[in-house]
Amino acid sequence: MSDSRQPGVSDAQLERPELESHLAATWRTPGGLWGVLSTVDHKIIGRRYIVTAFVFLALGGVLALLMRLQLAGSERRVLSADWYNQVFTMHGANMMFLFAVPVMEAMAIYLVPLMVGTRNIAFPRLNAFSYWLYLAGGIMLWTAFALNMAPDVGWFAYVPLSGPQFGAGKRADIWAQMITFTEIAALAVAIEIVVTVLKQRAPGMTLQRIPLFVWSMLVTAFLVILAMPTIMIASTCLILDRLVGTHFFNPSEGGDVLLWQHLFWFFGHPEVYIIFLPAVGMVSSLVATFAGRPVFGYLAMVLALISTGVLAFGLWVHHMFVVGLPRVGESFFTISSMSIAIPAGVQIFCWLATLWDGRLRFRVPLLFVIAFIITFVMGGLTGVMVASVPLDTQVHDTYFVVAHFHYVLIGGAVFPLIGAIYYWFPKMSGRLMSERIGRWVVGLLFVGFNLTFFPMHVLGLLGMPRRIYTYSPEMHWDALNLFSSVSATILAAGFLLFFIDVIRSLRRGPQAPENPWGASTLEWATTSPPPGYNFPRVPVVGSAQPLWDEPESLAVACGLRVDRRELLITSVVSAQPQAREASPRNSIWPFFAALASTLMLIASIFTPWAMVWGSVPVLITLIGWFWPKGDPEDEG
């Protein structure tokens, strides 16, 4: 790689201390507000993304508690019908679009470049832009809620209820535009991840040596790229129906209300896997580390991830089993929905085999894995139940389904996520979290969750529909609802304790070494937290568990310049070095571009002309962003 003809300073010519000071200067994020707004460091943006997503988790949790307060007894008047409808819509939209998907992508923004051994994510300015746009979308939604104009049509916003005739005011428009914000952000991150994984892996990290978490994020990123455009088309059609009088969804003018449901769920079901697959990757990381052996069945795990990703697009109709579709079509979707249990089963069995064979260390992250398996398997099995058309006609849109998807989403994604935070927190912050408090957090979350949500299965079978703001005492749902509401406080206490532990550990946690858990993947081969340039020299990988198989010292590649930001580009399959690529410097333009886009998108809720006039500032900021640098982009 070393090349004496190249201009500038190459890392091959430098000793370690000098190398590090050069790299630190080149990759540095300046202090002050300017640095905050202009940084393109994936670790800073990733941390920001994670923190923001957890703020939205806390806010969404407060909404959940409000709903539990309202439903704790029959005919309670904590919330009016109007507020309740806003609250449950906000809870769903917030948790799906502002918490679950962004937090998973945020973990990837932070971890994937480190795990594949590169210095920054691909398209780092797009990454900065994506964060600002996501933040703006979240602020817009919550501001609307504070102004009593939050969407009240459900997170699924079915027409005609959300259409121009029945969705009065700007509430449904706020929902539709929030989709635009978060989906642009999500698509941007997905593209960055795909390129980072395929083109920026450390030399030697062939496809069969990619860590399972990175595989899961790669599959997830493809799901985002394929699924999100559908919802953007749907929400754009909805805005057009509402703002300029088109009739995409108006049956009396030749439109179709079911078209909305098809488009929504063609996105909406893969969305579940966009949330779940990263969690699968996290679990694989945790299981391998705390069982002290590689995950059993690497190839089977990768194939399971990919087949889940493919099948995810073939089962959206199971959300529509009671709309009156032809029987043959419904049967097809029963088969496809149930068959997703096969890759899920493969993953569970492989983890069990790993745990069976491994020498376990019962640290907090592993406890979360245990809570995950017990809870998620239950959610998966009720998933098999709702995949059956006849069975679904009884439980669809009841609290049975509410229980089911909370088992899948909290048990299947949030438990692994919190476990992952305990696991990667030392890397991100340089400090360890408390093992003692962590055990309490696992216990409270696991017990609180199951006590809160298990009774909802029964409530659903006893006839309680979803999305009702109150119920009559004649229904005899009081006892179970009260039980669920009281248990929700345990669950909330678990989350509260988790947040306390995070804040406490940030200030007083013990210093973390490079590799506190004795893990095998590359993110543990650099300091905690990593420097701006991630690795002083790009690591070279000779196995799937580089830190286990080469414990003494990792091989490194050299030849990258240190006086400008450079990355190593490698080939897709075998990760052979191909080129040195310039990586963009810090820039304020992504922030301005996001600001201009935000103004345009929010104004377009009120007038279609905003798209015309609003595009001018966006254009100006993009010109600033892409102004030629005069440097060669890459060198072979």
* Three-state SS at 471: coil
Between residues 37 and 300, which has the closer beta carbon with respect to another protein? 300
Report which secondary-structure segment, H or E, holds 111. Answer: helix 101-115
- Per CB under 8 A, the segment of 152-160, 195-203, 222-230, 609-617 that binds another protein is 152-160
- 424 to 483, contacts with another protein by CB under 8 A? 458, 460-463, 465-472, 475-476, 478-480, 482-483
Report the C-alpha gap between 411 and 272 in whole angstroms.
13
- 92 to 111, contacts with another protein by CB under 8 A? none
Q: Compute the C-alpha angle 11/15/18, nearest 5°.
A: 85
- Per CB under 8 A, the segment of 224-232, 268-276, 354-362, 520-528 that binds another protein is 354-362
- 49 to 88, contacts with another protein by CB under 8 A? 73, 80-82, 85
Kindly state whether residue 627 participates in binding another protein, applying the rule CB under 8 A: no
At 617, the amino acid letter reads P
Q: What CA–CA distances, in Å, run from 576 to 1, 99, 123, 192, 377?
A: 11, 37, 21, 20, 40
Kindly state whether residue 259 participates in binding another protein, applying the rule CB under 8 A: no
First to last CA, the chain: 10
Compute the half-sphere exposure of residue 138: CA atoms within 13 Å on the CB side of its CA: 26
Between residues 156 and 422, which has the closer beta carbon with respect to another protein? 156
DSSP calls for 113-136: HHHTT-SS-SSHHHHHHHHHHHHH
Between residues 212 and 428, which has the closer beta carbon with respect to another protein? 212
- 399 to 418, contacts with another protein by CB under 8 A? none
CB of 308 to another protein, least distance (A): 14
**Long-range pairs of 370-373 with CB within 8 A, sequence gap ≥ 24:** 371/411, 371/415, 371/442, 371/445, 371/446, 372/279, 372/283, 372/411, 372/412, 372/415, 372/416, 372/419, 373/348
- Per CB under 8 A, the segment of 42-50, 108-116, 126-134, 343-351 that binds another protein is 343-351
Other beta carbons less than 10 A from residue 310's beta carbon: 13
- 279 to 308, contacts with another protein by CB under 8 A? 292-293, 296-297, 300
Of the candidate residues 51, 323, 573, 623, the single one contacting another protein (CB under 8 A): 323
CB of 17 to another protein, least distance (A): 39
Of the candidate residues 275, 277, 346, 402, the single one contacting another protein (CB under 8 A): 346
Strand partners, 582: 566
- 153 to 182, contacts with another protein by CB under 8 A? 153-154, 158, 160-161, 165-166
- Helix residue ranges, H only, 200-326: 212-243, 257-291, 298-311
- 555 to 614, contacts with another protein by CB under 8 A? none
- 361 to 390, contacts with another protein by CB under 8 A? 370, 373-374, 377-378, 381-382, 384-385, 388-390
Between residues 407 and 425, which has the closer beta carbon with respect to another protein? 407
Of the candidate residues 36, 303, 310, 342, the single one contacting another protein (CB under 8 A): 342
**Number of chain residues interacting with another protein (CB under 8 A):** 89
Of the candidate residues 395, 437, 456, 502, the single one contacting another protein (CB under 8 A): 395
Could you identify the residue written with the tokens 């407060």? 62
Between residues 322 and 623, which has the closer beta carbon with respect to another protein? 322
Between residues 480 and 622, which has the closer beta carbon with respect to another protein? 480
At 129, the amino acid letter reads F
